[in-house]
Structures are given as C-alpha cells and as structure tokens.
Chain A
Amino acid sequence: MDCFFGLKQKKLIQTNNISINYGSLILKFPEIKLNSGDQLLILGNSGSGKTSLLNILGGLISPNTGTVLLNDINLMSLSKNKVDNFRGKNIGFIFQTPHFIKSLTVNENLKLSQYLISEINQSRINILLEKVGLLNLKDSNIQNLSEGEKQRISIIRALINQPSILLADEPTSALDDESCNNVIDILTNLSNEYSATLIIVTHDKRLKEKFSNQIDLNDF
C-alpha cells in the first residue's frame, strides 16, 4: 500500500489517447488522470461508449489505440491470467444489475469473493454489512433481496478485497429516487473511508449535482 499511495506525484489512473472501434464507428475517449481517493462521474447517453470506457479501465476489453496505466502498470502488457488476478486484487466492479451466485446466501457470496482473491475474513464482511444496514439479511438467500438491497450488497462485494479502484457502471439507473440516494451515499462514503478511487459512468442525471469532478462524453 505504501508504494501505492506514498508517491503522490504519480497518478493512480492515467489514460492516454485511448479509442475503440466498433466496425466503422471509432470511439475516442478523453484523457483521465486520477489520484488515489479521487471520485469521477462520467456522463454519457447510450451509445456514447461509457461502458466500453469502463471495461477498458477495468481490463475487461482492450482498446484499439492508447494505453491505460494503473499505478504505472500497463494493463495491455499483462497476460490474460495476470489481468484477471490484477483486477481481482485492485479493482472492484459494480454493475447496473447486480448478479450473484443464486444458490448461495448473502454471506456465502461475499465469502466466495474473498476466497477467490485472498482469505475469508468474516469480521470484515460483518463490518461492511453493518455499514450498509443489511447485517440482518446475512444468511438470506440472495434471490430474496430487493434490487436496492442487492445493489448495496454488490458495493460490499466490490469493496471486500480492499481494491484501490472502484468502477461503477450505471449503479443507480434501475433504482427509485430513495434507493438511488441511498446507494450513492454508501458508494461515496465507503470509497472515501477505504481511500478507493471511484469512477461512475451513467446517464442518470440525478447524480449530476453529487459529484464535482465530471466528464460528459456527449460534449467530447
């Protein structure tokens, strides 16, 4: 962690000239430079390539041009297995529709996420569940939860292995106003608390006034 956060002059996330081609359509993306703990909202209509951008940042797909440096490591230079491992350790994902292992309980899903990367730490799971107010649902089947509850659990899942980066793709679009506020509060508070850099891509206008640092892909 020291090498991650000790060198202030280095950017945690730095993109350079990235673009991706879908047939004849070429999507170019603005440069992103973020320090540890920064929060960024990326707005864009559907088709603006915001999900593609997030997938490139998370190493799920490779851009046609440009580089992504995460803490000075070029994702494109890593092998597939190493990208998977790097992502598991350093990046937490939150999607519009959260998916879990349906046959497992809330607690078992979170334990599985820990197991895949590090060691199972039940007290950490309990602390996080307590923070989002869902400790009472710990042993419920994941399918019995509401969408808002599932989204809160997916935030915990993204944070469970203490990643340095949180990437959220339309985390609030499927939620009503109350759940939306609740989820965004939890997301911003927890990423602050755990010093994770947060990037949200969305077309949800409700989030506009909540973040000072914004990029609008429609303007680009």
Chain B
Amino acid sequence: MIFKLAWKNISSRPLSTGLSIVLLSSSIMVIVLATLTINQMKLKFNDNANKIDLVIGAKGSRLQLILCNVFHIDYPTGNIFLEDVEFLTKHPFVKNAVPISLGDAYQQHRIIGTNKNFISEIYNATLEKGELFNESSEVVIGSNVAKKLNLGNSFIGSHGVGESLHEHEDFKYLVVGVLKPTGDIIDELIITPLESIWNVHHDDYKKGSFDLKTAEEHDLHQLEDDKEEHSIHKKEITALLVNYNSPRAKFSIPGIINKKNSLMSADPAIEIKQLIDLIQPAVNILYFLALFIFGLSFFSIIITLVNSMKDRKYEIVMMRVGGASVKTIFISVILEGFYIGFLGSIIGLVLGHSLMEIMASFINFKYHYKFSGLVFDQFEIVLILITILIGMIAAIFPAIVAYKFDIAKVLKNKI
C-alpha cells in the first residue's frame, strides 16, 4: 500500500517528476554510451591487435601503419621491398611472417594480396565453401563480403578504397572460396595471392597505391614511376605481419627493423594502447558532463519533492491524524525518491543502448566494425543501484520536511 501511495504520488505529477527523470536519464544515457563505446572499442581493437605481434612497413606514422594493415581503416604509409624483410620468414624467433599488399577494393571491402598463411595462421579462418586460392586473380572472401559476392562470381577491383576512382577493367577477380564468420576484420576482406596485386598494377605496383586521391594524380604518379626504372623488378609489399614464437623476439626484432632506413616496425598492442589513451580524455569529458547533469538531477529531485510535500501538506497531516507514524511518512517519501531513481536509470539505460545501436549501424556501414547496443555490462547493474541510492538520498531532505509538519498548525491554517 505504501509502495502504491509513493508510486501514485509521483505519477500524478508527471511534469515535475518528468523533469527530474529526464535529467537523471540523460546523464545515465551519456555514461552508458561512453562506457559501451570505449569498452567495445578496446575489445575490438585488442581482439584484432592480439592476432599480430608486429607490423613492418614503410616509414611514417606507426599508428597509421597499424590502422591500415591491422584494422584496415587508414591509408598505407607506402610500400617496402619484399626482399628487405624476407629474412624474417626464416628468423628463429618468428612463427609467421606474412606479407600483405594493399591497393584495391571492391565496394568498400579491401582486396588484400597475401599468402594462405594470412587466412590459416593469423586469423585461424576456415572455409565455409569452395577452396583457397591457388593462382593470381583467384580470391577468397570473408563472410560479410559474401553478402555481396558469391562463389564463382567474378568482379573488377577499383583502385584505392571506397569510391571507384579508377577501375582496373582489364583485370577480373574470381571468387573461389568463402570463409566462415570469425568476428574479426577478415570477415570484411577479400584475400588474393600477392601476384594478383602485382599483376593488376603491372607497372605501377611499386608504389603505395592507397595514397592516390584522384585519377589524375594516379596518372601523374605513373609517369614519375616510369622514370624510376631501377626498382621495377623488385617486388613490393605494403607490410609484413609478424607473429613471434619467442618472447625474446619482442626485444630483438623491432631493433633490427628500425635500424634499416626504409623500414619501420610497430607493435599493434602498444599503438592501440596509445590510441585509446588519446581518446580517453574525450571520454573523460563525457563522464564529467554526465556527472554534472547527474548533480543537477539530484537537486531537481530535491526541489521536486520538497514542492510536492508543500502541495501535499494537508494530505500528509491527514495521514498523521489517521495514525500514520512519522516513520511511515518518512519511508513513503524515500520511496518516491526510489521510484524516480529507478525510472531514471532504466530509461537512461534504454536510451543509451538504443543510441549505441543507432551509432553502431553507422560505424558498421562506414568502417566495417561491428559495435552493438545490445551488449550489456555488469557496471550497468551497479549504475542502476547507485542511481536508485542517489534518488533515495535526494529524498531525505523532503522526507524530513514532510514529517516535521506540525499537525495542529497546518490544520489551523485552513480547515
């Protein structure tokens, strides 16, 4: 009965209670959104980063090297000669050294020139149907690419990633295999032998192809490249992905690589940690904002309830006359705070997750990274409990106002 009373008392004042709940739920929403984003980002990045111990590529930004070759988001830093890094494949500390060459894409899915180890060793992916590629121009596609292409289909790659700037109309790829879903970035990729990339870019294979912004620029580069005859017979790759088989490799291999003028190595785990450290202040600002709104809603609850007590002065006094103890009055007001906290946290969680789901579909479309609003975290239970507690604490002062009403004085004013 006392629960019902408290519930009816707040639900019969939708406007003022609503304001408190809106404030409370918006702060919860921001907290949920920020936490879900950063957590899922860490999870996705770490998942993918943990598959590769070291990336070796052309000099430039380490983070760019990782984003491009591990996460397939950014543009390449340039190309390196395969022969410069080939020694690593036989290095005793190295488990796998898989060369990759980037350059083309098909409908936002990148075409990766590499070898079979990329599929079997790095991503542990297995075939759903078909077979692995055996020769140039054959491709194996990730499970999400299979939504657009099927076994036996042939397609033309476009130069660069994203918009078709320049189509290689004379070179057709053939889908010979489809991979099972892994949850990793490989689901979004088209994998082909290195030779495909070399063949399609027969005379311009030697430069970092992603850095082309327009077709004209592309042609310009081609002209420049023609002059660089000396390097034409050296095979180029975008990066070498390395997995160690000894913990000692971590201390020796990056040193060997970084001594070479044209090469740079980057550890995905370190770069991702730095990236997250870079994002963290922005997330902290969001938390701060959320905390500020949370504080506002705390005062809003106090004001709402105190006003409500003043409006309900006679009701409360009547309850006292009818034998309600001050304890009962106190508890019933605290319960109102409980309901406001409960509603605020639940609505905030629903909003946060819905917004996350909307954002996730956008991120998924743009970057092929699957975020989800349907993932729940333990911290959310704690968040609900804290919010309810805050609601109840905010109700303490109004509850004191309520039980301090002097029955005789209130009755004397207006009876």
Contact = CB atoms under 8 A, between A and B. Distances in A.
A99 B407 CA distance: 13
Given A115-B2, A116-B328, A169-B415, A100 B323 contact: no
Given A55-B411, A95-B411, A115-B2, A104 B8 contact: yes
A99 B1 contact: no
Given A60-B407, A61-B408, A115-B1, A100 B315 contact: yes
A103 B1 contact: no
Interface string A89-103: 100010111011111
Contacts of B11: 103
A180 B315 CA distance: 24
B383 to A, nearest CB: 29
Interface string B309-326: 000101101111111111
Nearest to A118: B323
Contact of A60 (B12, B324, B411): B411
Contacts of B319: 101, 112, 116
A100 B8 CA distance: 13
B318 A100 contact: yes
Contact of A170 (B1, B8, B407, B415): B415
Contacts of B325: 81, 84-85
A120 B412 contact: no
Contact of B324 (A61, A84, A120, A169): A84
Interface in B278-320: 312, 314-315, 317-320
A161 interface: yes
A68 to B, nearest CB: 15
Interface string B1-24: 110110011011000000000000
A60 B323 contact: no
A85 B323 contact: yes
A102 B1 contact: no
B414 interface: yes
B174 to A, nearest CB: 72
A99 B349 CA distance: 39
Interface residues of B, number: 28
A51 interface: yes
Contacts of B315: 99-102
Nearest to A163: B323
Given A112-B1, A115-B1, A88 B415 contact: no
Contacts of A93: 321-322
Contacts of B320: 84
Given A99-B315, A103-B9, A117 B323 contact: yes
A113 interface: yes
Contacts of B323: 84-85, 87-89, 116-117, 161
Given A60-B407, A115-B1, A88 B324 contact: yes
Nearest to B7: A103
Given A112-B1, A115-B1, A99 B318 contact: yes
Interface string A59-85: 011000000000000000000110011
Interface in B144-159: none
A108 B323 CA distance: 16
A111 interface: yes
B397 to A, nearest CB: 21
A102 B5 CA distance: 10
Contacts of B326: 80-81, 84
A201 to B, nearest CB: 11
Nearest to A157: B322
B68 to A, nearest CB: 62
A169 B2 CA distance: 28
Contacts of A100: 315, 318
Given A111-B1, A115-B1, A120-B1, A95 B322 contact: no
B8 A99 contact: no
A185 B359 CA distance: 70
Contacts of B415: 51, 95-97, 169-170
Nearest to B323: A88
A102 B323 CA distance: 18
A51 B12 CA distance: 33
Nearest to A120: B1
Interface in A145-180: 157, 161, 169-170
A60 B321 contact: yes
B314 A116 contact: no
Nearest to B1: A115
Given A101-B5, A103-B12, A169-B415, A60 B322 contact: no
A84 B319 CA distance: 10
Nearest to B313: A99
- Give the 4 A-B residue pairs with the shortest CB-CB distance, closest first: A88-B323, A103-B12, A99-B314, A103-B8
Given A81-B325, A102-B312, A117-B323, 20 more contacts: A51-B411, A60-B408, A60-B411, A80-B326, A84-B323, A85-B325, A87-B321, A88-B322, A88-B323, A89-B323, A93-B321, A95-B415, A100-B318, A101-B8, A101-B315, A101-B319, A102-B12, A102-B315, A108-B8, A116-B323
25 contacts: A51-B411, A55-B408, A60-B408, A61-B408, A80-B326, A81-B326, A87-B323, A88-B323, A88-B324, A89-B323, A96-B415, A97-B414, A97-B415, A99-B317, A100-B315, A101-B5, A101-B8, A101-B312, A101-B319, A102-B12, A102-B312, A113-B322, A115-B2, A116-B324, A157-B322
